[in-house]
Amino acid sequence: MRFASLLFCSISLFASDQDDVISAVQKTFDRMAAHDGPGIEALFLKDARLVAIRESGESTSTAITDFATRTGAAKYKLLERMWAPQVSISGRLASLWAPYDFHRDGKRTHCGIDQVNLVKTPEGWRIATLIYTIQTTNCPDSPLGPVN
Protein backbone atom coordinates (compact mmCIF):
# COMPACT_ATOMS: atom_id res chain seq x y z
CA MET A 1 0.00 0.00 0.00
CA ARG A 2 2.80 2.40 0.88
CA PHE A 3 4.51 1.76 -2.48
CA ALA A 4 1.27 2.50 -4.33
CA SER A 5 0.89 5.81 -2.48
CA LEU A 6 4.47 6.77 -3.24
CA LEU A 7 4.05 5.81 -6.91
CA PHE A 8 0.81 7.82 -7.21
CA CYS A 9 2.47 10.84 -5.56
CA SER A 10 5.44 10.61 -7.96
CA ILE A 11 3.15 10.32 -10.98
CA SER A 12 1.05 13.28 -9.77
CA LEU A 13 4.14 15.46 -9.27
CA PHE A 14 5.44 14.49 -12.72
CA ALA A 15 2.09 15.29 -14.33
CA SER A 16 2.03 18.63 -12.53
CA ASP A 17 5.55 19.47 -13.72
CA GLN A 18 4.61 18.45 -17.28
CA ASP A 19 1.58 20.74 -17.16
CA ASP A 20 3.72 23.56 -15.76
CA VAL A 21 6.31 23.16 -18.54
CA ILE A 22 3.60 23.25 -21.23
CA SER A 23 2.02 26.23 -19.50
CA ALA A 24 5.31 28.18 -19.45
CA VAL A 25 5.68 27.73 -23.22
CA GLN A 26 2.02 28.53 -23.90
CA LYS A 27 2.29 31.69 -21.77
CA THR A 28 5.14 32.78 -24.04
CA PHE A 29 2.86 32.50 -27.08
CA ASP A 30 0.02 34.26 -25.23
CA ARG A 31 2.31 37.14 -24.27
CA MET A 32 3.60 37.36 -27.83
CA ALA A 33 -0.01 37.76 -29.00
CA ALA A 34 -0.52 40.47 -26.34
CA HIS A 35 2.72 42.26 -27.39
CA ASP A 36 3.82 42.01 -23.75
CA GLY A 37 7.61 42.33 -24.00
CA PRO A 38 8.30 42.50 -20.24
CA GLY A 39 5.93 39.55 -19.70
CA ILE A 40 7.81 37.51 -22.27
CA GLU A 41 11.16 38.30 -20.64
CA ALA A 42 9.83 37.19 -17.25
CA LEU A 43 9.31 33.66 -18.61
CA PHE A 44 12.96 33.28 -19.69
CA LEU A 45 16.30 33.13 -17.92
CA LYS A 46 18.18 36.45 -18.17
CA ASP A 47 20.70 35.16 -20.72
CA ALA A 48 18.25 33.03 -22.72
CA ARG A 49 18.51 32.70 -26.50
CA LEU A 50 16.12 32.02 -29.36
CA VAL A 51 17.56 30.20 -32.36
CA ALA A 52 15.72 30.09 -35.70
CA ILE A 53 16.68 27.46 -38.27
CA ARG A 54 15.52 28.31 -41.78
CA GLU A 55 14.79 25.89 -44.62
CA SER A 56 18.11 26.87 -46.23
CA GLY A 57 19.96 25.69 -43.12
CA GLU A 58 20.87 29.23 -42.11
CA SER A 59 20.37 29.90 -38.42
CA THR A 60 20.07 33.09 -36.40
CA SER A 61 20.41 33.55 -32.67
CA THR A 62 18.63 36.29 -30.75
CA ALA A 63 18.93 37.37 -27.11
CA ILE A 64 15.65 37.27 -25.20
CA THR A 65 15.86 41.00 -24.47
CA ASP A 66 15.98 41.80 -28.21
CA PHE A 67 13.18 39.36 -29.01
CA ALA A 68 10.93 40.72 -26.25
CA THR A 69 11.54 44.33 -27.29
CA ARG A 70 10.84 43.59 -30.96
CA THR A 71 7.72 41.53 -30.16
CA GLY A 72 6.41 44.16 -27.74
CA ALA A 73 6.71 46.85 -30.42
CA ALA A 74 5.16 44.82 -33.26
CA LYS A 75 2.22 46.53 -34.95
CA TYR A 76 0.59 43.38 -36.32
CA LYS A 77 -1.37 40.51 -34.78
CA LEU A 78 0.75 37.51 -33.79
CA LEU A 79 -0.49 34.00 -33.14
CA GLU A 80 1.64 30.94 -32.50
CA ARG A 81 -0.07 27.62 -31.85
CA MET A 82 1.54 24.36 -30.76
CA TRP A 83 0.00 20.92 -30.48
CA ALA A 84 0.92 17.44 -29.27
CA PRO A 85 3.77 18.65 -27.03
CA GLN A 86 6.21 15.99 -25.88
CA VAL A 87 7.79 16.78 -22.52
CA SER A 88 10.82 15.17 -20.89
CA ILE A 89 11.84 16.07 -17.35
CA SER A 90 14.85 15.17 -15.25
CA GLY A 91 14.99 17.02 -11.94
CA ARG A 92 15.26 20.74 -12.71
CA LEU A 93 15.75 20.26 -16.46
CA ALA A 94 12.88 19.95 -18.93
CA SER A 95 12.55 19.80 -22.68
CA LEU A 96 9.44 20.37 -24.78
CA TRP A 97 9.16 19.42 -28.45
CA ALA A 98 6.05 20.35 -30.45
CA PRO A 99 4.90 21.14 -33.97
CA TYR A 100 3.59 24.68 -34.39
CA ASP A 101 2.12 27.12 -36.85
CA PHE A 102 2.63 30.87 -36.86
CA HIS A 103 0.19 33.52 -38.07
CA ARG A 104 0.73 37.22 -38.74
CA ASP A 105 -2.40 39.35 -39.10
CA GLY A 106 -4.47 36.18 -39.41
CA LYS A 107 -2.40 34.63 -42.21
CA ARG A 108 -0.18 31.61 -41.66
CA THR A 109 3.38 32.62 -42.54
CA HIS A 110 5.18 29.44 -41.53
CA CYS A 111 5.19 26.30 -39.45
CA GLY A 112 7.81 24.05 -37.92
CA ILE A 113 9.00 22.46 -34.71
CA ASP A 114 9.60 24.25 -31.41
CA GLN A 115 12.24 22.70 -29.15
CA VAL A 116 12.32 24.43 -25.77
CA ASN A 117 14.76 23.79 -22.90
CA LEU A 118 13.61 24.93 -19.47
CA VAL A 119 15.13 25.16 -15.99
CA LYS A 120 13.09 24.90 -12.80
CA THR A 121 13.91 27.94 -10.66
CA PRO A 122 12.42 29.04 -7.32
CA GLU A 123 9.98 31.16 -9.39
CA GLY A 124 8.96 28.18 -11.56
CA TRP A 125 9.97 26.86 -14.98
CA ARG A 126 11.96 29.37 -17.04
CA ILE A 127 13.04 29.02 -20.66
CA ALA A 128 16.78 28.78 -21.29
CA THR A 129 16.63 28.22 -25.06
CA LEU A 130 13.87 28.17 -27.63
CA ILE A 131 15.05 26.63 -30.89
CA TYR A 132 12.65 26.42 -33.80
CA THR A 133 12.55 25.49 -37.44
CA ILE A 134 10.91 27.76 -40.00
CA GLN A 135 9.12 26.02 -42.85
CA THR A 136 7.36 28.34 -45.30
CA THR A 137 6.07 25.72 -47.76
CA ASN A 138 4.21 22.44 -47.41
CA CYS A 139 2.92 23.21 -43.93
CA PRO A 140 0.47 20.54 -42.82
CA ASP A 141 -2.99 21.59 -41.67
CA SER A 142 -3.05 22.09 -37.93
CA PRO A 143 -5.21 19.69 -35.90
CA LEU A 144 -6.34 22.87 -34.07
CA GLY A 145 -8.29 23.90 -37.14
CA PRO A 146 -8.29 27.19 -39.03
CA VAL A 147 -7.56 30.51 -37.35
CA ASN A 148 -10.69 32.62 -36.95
> How is the chain split into domains, by residue range?
26-134
Per-residue pLDDT at 3: 44
Percentage of the chain beyond pLDDT 90 is: 85
Q: How many CA atoms lie within 13 A of 54 on its CB side?
A: 6
Residue-level pLDDT at 12: 42
Cβ neighbours of 94 (radius 10 Å): 24
What number is the average pLDDT over the span 56-65? 97
Determine if the pTM surpasses 0.95: no
Strands (E), 2-146: 44-54, 59-63, 78-82, 86-90, 93-104, 107-121, 124-134
Which pLDDT score, from 0 to 100, does residue 148 have?
75
Specify the pLDDT at position 56: 94
Which residue type does 100 have?
Y
CATH architecture of 26-134: Roll (3.10)
